[in-house]
Amino acid sequence: MTEVAIIGDRFMRSDLFEAALHAAVGDQVTCRSLDLPWPDQPMQHGYQVPGLDGLKEYMGDPEAVIAHVGAAPILITHLAPLSARMMDRLPSLRFVAVSRGGPVNIDMVAARERGITVVNTPGRNASAVAEFCIGAILAETRNITRGHDALRRGAWRGDLYRADVVGDELSALTVGVIGYGQIGTRVVRLLRAFGCRVLVADPYVQLTAMDAVDGVRLVDRDSLLAMADVVTLHARVTPETTGFIDRAAFARMKPGATFVNTARGPMVDYEALCDALETGHLRGAMLETFAVEPVPPDWRLLTLPNVTLTPHIAGASLKTVTIAAGQTAEEIRRLLAGAPPLHPC
């Protein structure tokens, strides 16, 4: 039997990985499991400050990870880090399955140099995030958050029915989607049902024939910012996109527009966003991800009345867990059968 080390957590639980794996390969593997305390305890973020050997978004003590993996040739992980120095102490490791859309907790250059195959689970939470994004847009544009906050304080905000305060229906709005990958395409699919005008900005994709039939338009980013009533961000963090929603980008947006970020915080200049919200240039914002997580308790965004904030939970669904465990198990089944991986990184 092949030994598999599993490192899960309190969302992507190791027993769910193990069950999916045994369902796929039976008794061809023997597993040993470890669960980390995320999300009850925050992960580390290497975006703002240097992390473990340059890794991003990880959890786990390197020594504990090394001890758990041991001589296993296969590792299944969600958040556990794997740096070059750690790989050097794991000479038997040959295959790593990361149950995420991007292996930001793995040193991919070092893995390639050492002949370690890394696979991921693209699209595992795409449906969850897309659904959440639609809810986020509605919560912010239709004053759901404002009404909720007021009632919790004991105030009945009848003024939310004023013509100069109410938000418009999605059917009357232009929504701009920046990034047209697994999540962005699903967001557009859901938006079609509302009858809104949809713009897409992504220099690396082409629209489908169905998009054209439905009136979806592919435009450049600056044009999208200038025309959209709602701008929703779905790009990945790359050197090209880091900080690209900056002060100039917010200035290009329509007065009274709404900004939504369910992607990643490092793409956004949050000080510039705060200024745009405070001056009233933007009507509001819905923010699900931040450059620093958890956010500082004295952060300026927490004091603004025209924002909806959630603690990076858009991908949190049971379906996400099921998809990720199933994709991971299938990759290992293929490995043991001598087939190539479906999603090599």
Cβ pair 4, 30 in contact under 8 A: yes
264 an active-site residue?
A: yes
Q: Is the dihedral of CA 159, 162, 168, 169 positive or negative?
A: positive
Distances (CA, A) of 184 to 132, 151, 153, 221: 12, 33, 36, 14
Residues linked to residue 174 through DSSP beta bridges, in sequence order: 197
The catalytically annotated residue of 312, 330, 331, 333 is 312
282 sits in which H/E element: strand 282-287
Known catalytic membership, residue 189: no
How far CA 115 is from CA of 21, 22, 24, in Å, comes to 23, 26, 25
247 is catalytic: no
State residue 132 phi and psi, 5-degree precision: -60, -40
| Placement of tokens 């965004």 in the chain | 301
Nearest Cα residue to 96 out of 331, 340, 336:
331
**Bridge-partner residues for 8, per DSSP?**
35
- 82 three-class SS: strand
Q: Quick check: bond before 42 cis, omega within 30?
A: no
Catalytic residue, chosen from 131, 157, 293, 334, is 293
- The residues assigned a catalytic role are 264, 293, 312
